Amino acid sequence: MLATRETMSTTDEFLSAASSLLGDRGFTTDAELIEPWLTDWRGRFTGHALGMASPASTQEVADLVKLCAAHGVPIVPQGGNSGMSGGATPDDTGKAIVLSLRRMDKVRSFDVVARQITCDAGLILQTLHDTVEAERLRFPLTLGGKGSATIGGLISTNAGGTQVLRHGSMRAQVLGIEAVMADGTVFDSLRPLKKDNRGFDLKQLLIGSEGTLGIVTAATLRLLPALADRAVLWAGLGDIRDARKLLLHAERVAGDALEGFEVMPRHSLEAVLAHSANARAPLQDHHEWNALIELTADASGADALPALAQSLLESAFEEGLVADATIARNEAQAEEFWMLRDEIAPAERAIGPAMQHDISVPVPDMAEFVADAVPKVEKAFPGTTAVAFGHLGDGNVHFHVLAPEGAVPGKWELGEGKAISAFVHDEVTAWNGSISAEHGIGQLKRDELARLGDPAQLGIMRQVKRALDPAGLLNPGKLVPLETGTEPL
Amino acid sequence: MLATRETMSTTDEFLSAASSLLGDRGFTTDAELIEPWLTDWRGRFTGHALGMASPASTQEVADLVKLCAAHGVPIVPQGGNSGMSGGATPDDTGKAIVLSLRRMDKVRSFDVVARQITCDAGLILQTLHDTVEAERLRFPLTLGGKGSATIGGLISTNAGGTQVLRHGSMRAQVLGIEAVMADGTVFDSLRPLKKDNRGFDLKQLLIGSEGTLGIVTAATLRLLPALADRAVLWAGLGDIRDARKLLLHAERVAGDALEGFEVMPRHSLEAVLAHSANARAPLQDHHEWNALIELTADASGADALPALAQSLLESAFEEGLVADATIARNEAQAEEFWMLRDEIAPAERAIGPAMQHDISVPVPDMAEFVADAVPKVEKAFPGTTAVAFGHLGDGNVHFHVLAPEGAVPGKWELGEGKAISAFVHDEVTAWNGSISAEHGIGQLKRDELARLGDPAQLGIMRQVKRALDPAGLLNPGKLVPLETGTEPL
């Protein structure tokens, strides 16, 4: 790409102004320093960038955004770069800057009594967990990437995880945010008012907007009392529909103590057992389906928990809802049960190429959907194996379709793989579901959203995007399928 | 107001088109039929209207909105007309139509197992309660106006009530909505996906927007298992700060069983005792402050509830948190305790003119705020009495300032009363609080929002309003303080 002389001069002006604004630690054009952040962690998207900014304060972010606005420079906000949909990777024009929030990683205030914490967007989830656990509190959201995922990234993608059933997704944890808008205005709703009806809840608009409406710089989060105990159950089932019945039963018996309900098919469990040397099957027999159930209690309910788990299991046996089941004897075994769940993605990946879909349908329909869609996909694409595992209690499964034997990695995904994804997304849409339950849209699914999204909703999204970012400089090409294409400028 | 001949003719065309679209039951210009809906229930605002539409379906609403857009006719959506801020009352230009949703009052679907109900916007809250209670479920939001308040109105104002502490405000109950946008587009998110990350959560933008961005026509709501039991406690306290300590203690001991925590000062209790012949004080001595605490349990926790209430009270005594306290002996007495709380507003009103403020500050600060603001107001306005009562657990109290003896009703409110409200709102703003915690802005507080709101947030609100309602036809003059004034056209 050749730049005209005029562009060069404007670009040079911008780079020099950015450098003097943020200093050496805050702005770099060093290709070697930038390079690791130009590819998403799964290696599916690679882009180019004019430079990388690492501001140290909200004021610096605001000043930088104003500078970008003045020079027409697009901005790609980035947290831990561990997103699933390429939402933090720049495009290949090289016109944008990457704006890393990682240097902003401080806890601003922590009210243990009120159970609220206010922190910078760049704080890493694991650090948040450690910080609040030291005060006998907990933050009720976790996921595989917790060692790199930042609070800002989790908010921008409205991240999920395994505790959504009981505690909701990231949106439910956020009491307030601070964000820099496209014109450099600082939106500040960090003051945690439990009730506030002074107009549109703009915070909600920014949550899950993937940096296309504003750049989240800080947040106030709710915390819960630390867990005093948990009971982890493993059940073998003959059919995914039985898992649905067991879920309803668990909700009835355990009420608010039910914190997680995950399912996995025989294929996934066996893949993990083959993949991980330490993995052991919880039950002697292998069943077509497995359910992993977690009950939890804080100090006020810990005494009653073992009896509750026992009674849940006994009543499930009595009602013929489970074929076989067990309760983890101790915390070590509970960890082992969860490890089986957490290892599914890498274990399935080790088998060979696969198309992965993060989908949801209405909770009551998920079991039927899986029972219907798995054979349909395998029939339409002979030789493939479809596996669905994950958050049955949220109506959200990860629907993986493994390539036929002999498929060429890197090539299969772009050919048959693409057709498979379109097929799966069509099925999900026919079931009134979502093609992105918890991973967001990013650049990975933007065109599928354009193809399958409700035209009315897409129209309103575009209106909002144009109103709040008229020049289209905030994370261009992500999430919002603009009619006019995705050119940033 | 004299209309030009051209306007007349356009108006006639509109009226005739509206009549033929909606029929006699759906559209009227009969002044007698319209008149009751031109004044808010508290009689503070009166307007005029070109006509009143009562569409029977979402399609009719959409067609009507398109007709209004074509003729430039403003629309004032109205539910039960029991709002607190004049948000459903038209202005006095007579250019707008009132769009009543009351004819749309059907339950569309009810999934007892999934605990979800989808209903038209005009369904009355009490009817919803009755409908779900017949299936041993409950809708965890209630308020004084439940006999007239509609689901659409509750959503448009993000209504609160006495159960927000445990269950959140209306926003937290809404799983999906259907709304007609300014151009007649139907936004439909009624399909209840628990997880869906396909872009901006537009539903959240519409909730609490008071009909200024779209007209809510239906909603899908979450339901909870019916209550099996409750325990209602009454505590006498020396100081509002002790109420805060007792609240924290109750949260610690009772956890999720704590459903309500209301406070009222001696003045309010004595006003109720004087006002209501049937009212009896729960405790022999009168205390400076009183706390009303409700613990609840569904079937899974009902057995443990009486012991929990007992242990809460005993430990509160041991720690010196209460001066005196009692537990309602039975459901009849529990009702009596709650009646004392519910009767405060009418009892205080019977004393004489008062300025009423629905305010919030951060939950941890509310006790200090009340302790600080009450004497400040009484000193600044000699002869007044300031009383604060309500939802301490939500950081939200109703802050009433009673007129000095001899004040002339109807006149005092417009003179000293106005100055008092400005004073109270200034105080609340200085404490990082909200001038509308649960009643919304409407026309009552629009100018105060313009005066005290964060300019950054007001700017974003205006951008969103202009993007989604460029002609300014949806509930003009309400909520959003447009820079250019509030003229609808």
Question: Does residue A487 have a pLDDT over 80?
Answer: no
Residues A15, A29: contact at Cβ < 8 Å? yes
Do A179 and A220 belong to one domain? Answer: yes
Interface touch B456/A185, C-beta < 8 Å: yes
Interface touch A457/B433, C-beta < 8 Å: no
Q: Chain A residues with CB inside 8 Å of B59's CB? A: none
Residues B193, B223: contact at Cβ < 8 Å? no
**Percent of chain B residues topping a pLDDT of 70:** 97
Q: Chain B residues with CB inside 8 Å of A436's CB? A: 196-198
Last residue within a domain, chosen from B344, B361, B392: B344
Q: Chain A residues with CB inside 8 Å of B357's CB? A: none
Interface touch B197/A436, C-beta < 8 Å: yes
Quick one: angle between helices B58-71 and B5-26, nearest 10?
170
Q: Write down the pLDDT at residue A470.
A: 97
Q: Chain B residues with CB inside 8 Å of A189's CB? A: 457
Instruction: Give the residues across from A76 on adjacent strands.
Output: A98
Question: Does residue A327 have a pLDDT over 80?
Answer: yes
Do B330 and B366 belong to one domain? Answer: no
Interface touch A363/B114, C-beta < 8 Å: yes
Q: Write down the pLDDT at residue B488.
A: 36
Distance CA B209, CA B158 (A): 8
Report chain A's terminal Cα–Cα distance, integer Å: 16
Q: Tell me the mean pLDDT in the region A100-113.
A: 97
Helix (H, G, I), strand (E, B) or coil at B463: helix
Q: Write down the pLDDT at residue A471.
A: 97
Task: Quote the tokens at residue A154.
Answer: 């989790």
Q: Write down the pLDDT at residue B256.
A: 84
Categorize the per-residue pLDDT at A7 as very low, low, confident or very high, splitting at 50, 70 and 90. low
Structural domain including B44 reads 5-100
Nearest CA in chain A to B479: A199
CB pairs under 8 A between A and B: 225
Whether B488 is in a domain gets the answer no
Categorize the per-residue pLDDT at A4 as very low, low, confident or very high, splitting at 50, 70 and 90. low
Categorize the per-residue pLDDT at B5 as very low, low, confident or very high, splitting at 50, 70 and 90. low
- The CA distance from A10 to the nearest CA of chain B, in Å, is 29
Burial class of residue A227 in the structure, from the number of CB atoms within 10 Å of its CB (0-12 exposed, 13-18 middle, 19+ buried):
middle
Categorize the per-residue pLDDT at A255 as very low, low, confident or very high, splitting at 50, 70 and 90. confident
Q: What confidence tens digit (pLDDT) does each residue in A109-129 have?
A: 999 998 999 999 999 999 999
Nearest CA in chain A to B449: A198
Q: Chain B residues with CB inside 8 Å of A398's CB? A: none
- The CA distance from B199 to the nearest CA of chain A, in Å, is 6
Nearest CA in chain A to B185: A456
Interface touch A113/B436, C-beta < 8 Å: no
Do A83 and A139 belong to one domain? Answer: no
Q: Chain B residues with CB inside 8 Å of A222's CB? A: none
Whether B466 is in a domain gets the answer no
Q: Write down the pLDDT at residue B118.
A: 98
Interface test with B, best of A163, A198, A295, A394 (most B CBs within 10 A): A198
- Least CB-CB distance to A188: which of B454, B461, B480? B454
Q: Chain A residues with CB inside 8 Å of B362's CB? A: 114, 191-193
Query: Which positions ≥6 away from B43 have C-beta within 8 Å?
Result: none
Do A390 and A291 belong to one domain? Answer: no
Interface touch A164/B461, C-beta < 8 Å: no
Whether B478 is in a domain gets the answer no
Q: Tell me the mean pLDDT in the region A478-483.
A: 90
- Least CB-CB distance to A195: which of B187, B192, B437? B437
Which CATH number is B49's domain given? Answer: 3.30.43.10
Question: Does residue A435 have a pLDDT over 50?
Answer: yes
Interface touch A460/B254, C-beta < 8 Å: no
Cα maximum dimension of chain B: 79
Most confident of A481-485, B398-402, B480-484: B398-402
Residues B115, B125: contact at Cβ < 8 Å? no
Interface touch A201/B208, C-beta < 8 Å: yes
Half-sphere exposure of A381 (CA within 13 A, CB side): 25
Whether B448 is in a domain gets the answer no
Count CB-CB contacts under 10 A for residue B326. Answer: 16
Whether A477 is in a domain gets the answer no
Whether A474 is in a domain gets the answer no
Q: Chain A residues with CB inside 8 Å of B137's CB? A: none
Categorize the per-residue pLDDT at A10 as very low, low, confident or very high, splitting at 50, 70 and 90. confident
Q: Write down the pLDDT at residue A162.
A: 84
Do B191 and B234 belong to one domain? Answer: no
- Three-state SS sequence of chain A: CCCCHHHHHHHHHHHHHHHHHHHHHHEECCHHHHHHHCECCCCCCECCCCEEECCCCHHHHHHHHHHHHHHCCCEEEECCCCCCCCCCCCCCCCCCEEEECCCCCCEEEEECCCCEEEEECCCEHHHHHHHHHCCCEECCCCCCCCCCCEHHHHHHCCCCCCCHHHHCCHHHHEEEEEEEECCCCEEECCCCCCCCCCCCCHHHHHCCCCCCCEEEEEEEEECEECCCEEEEEEEEECCHHHHHHHHHHHHHHHHHHEEEEEEEEHHHHHHHHHHCCCCCCCCCCCCCEEEEEEEEECCCCHHHHHHHHHHHHHHHHHCCCCCEEEECCCHHHHHHHHHHHHCHHHHHHHHCCEEEEEEECCHHHHHHHHHHHHHHHHHHCCCCEEEEEEEHHHCEEEEEEECCCCCCCCCHHHCHHHHHHHHHHHHHHHCCCECCCCCCCCCCCHHHHHHHCCHHHHHHHHHHHHHHCCCCCECCCCCCCCCCCCCCC
Question: Does residue B103 have a pLDDT over 80?
Answer: yes
Do B426 and B378 belong to one domain? Answer: yes
Q: Write down the pLDDT at residue B409.
A: 92
Number of domains in chain A: 4
Do A14 and A95 belong to one domain? Answer: yes
Nearest CA in chain A to B445: A198
Report chain B's terminal Cα–Cα distance, integer Å: 15
Question: Does residue A489 have a pLDDT over 70?
Answer: no
Categorize the per-residue pLDDT at A301 as very low, low, confident or very high, splitting at 50, 70 and 90. confident
Q: What confidence tens digit (pLDDT) does each residue in B265-281 have?
A: 999 999 999 999 989 99
**Percent of chain A residues topping a pLDDT of 70:** 97
DSSP conformation class of B149: -
Categorize the per-residue pLDDT at A171 as very low, low, confident or very high, splitting at 50, 70 and 90. very high
Does the CA dihedral B209-B215-B220-B221 come out positive or negative? positive
Interface test with A, best of B200, B210, B464 (most A CBs within 10 A): B200
- Least CB-CB distance to B255: which of A301, A432, A438? A301
Average model confidence (pLDDT) across chain B:
94
Interface touch A435/B198, C-beta < 8 Å: yes
Do B218 and B252 belong to one domain? Answer: no
Last residue within a domain, chosen from A283, A313, A344: A344
Which residue from B243, B394, B244, B264 is spatially nearest to B339, judged by alpha carbons?
Answer: B264
Q: Tell me the mean pLDDT in the region B243-249.
A: 95
Do A391 and A311 belong to one domain? Answer: no
Count CB-CB contacts under 10 A for residue B139. Answer: 20
- Least CB-CB distance to A456: which of B188, B454, B460? B188
Interface touch A434/B196, C-beta < 8 Å: yes
Q: Write down the pLDDT at residue A349.
A: 87
Categorize the per-residue pLDDT at B171 as very low, low, confident or very high, splitting at 50, 70 and 90. very high
Q: Write down the pLDDT at residue A479.
A: 96
Do B93 and B140 belong to one domain? Answer: no
Categorize the per-residue pLDDT at A323 as very low, low, confident or very high, splitting at 50, 70 and 90. confident
Count CB-CB contacts under 10 A for residue B70. Answer: 13
Which CATH number is B434's domain given? Answer: 3.30.70.2740
Q: Write down the pLDDT at residue B8.
A: 55
- Least CB-CB distance to B187: which of A207, A362, A456? A456
Q: Chain B residues with CB inside 8 Å of A198's CB? A: 434-436, 441, 449, 453
Interface touch B468/A468, C-beta < 8 Å: no
Q: Chain A residues with CB inside 8 Å of B391's CB? A: 195
Helix (H, G, I), strand (E, B) or coil at B93: coil
Task: Quote the tokens at residue B410.
Answer: 């109807």
Which CATH number is A242's domain given? Answer: 3.30.70.2190
Do B220 and B265 belong to one domain? Answer: no
The enclosing H or E element of B259 equals strand B258-265
Question: Does residue B398 have a pLDDT over 90?
Answer: yes
Q: Chain B residues with CB inside 8 Å of A201's CB? A: 158, 171, 204-205, 207-208
Whether A10 is in a domain gets the answer yes
- The CA distance from B210 to the nearest CA of chain A, in Å, is 8
Interface touch B113/A464, C-beta < 8 Å: no
Q: Chain A residues with CB inside 8 Å of B229's CB? A: none
Do B59 and B150 belong to one domain? Answer: no
ipTM of the complex: 0.93
DSSP conformation class of B227: P
Which CATH number is A111's domain given? Answer: 3.30.465.10
Q: What confidence tens digit (pLDDT) does each residue in B21-47 have?
A: 999 999 999 999 999 999 999 899 999
Whether A255 is in a domain gets the answer yes
Last residue within a domain, chosen from B344, B376, B405: B344
Task: Quote the tokens at residue A333.
Answer: 């075994």
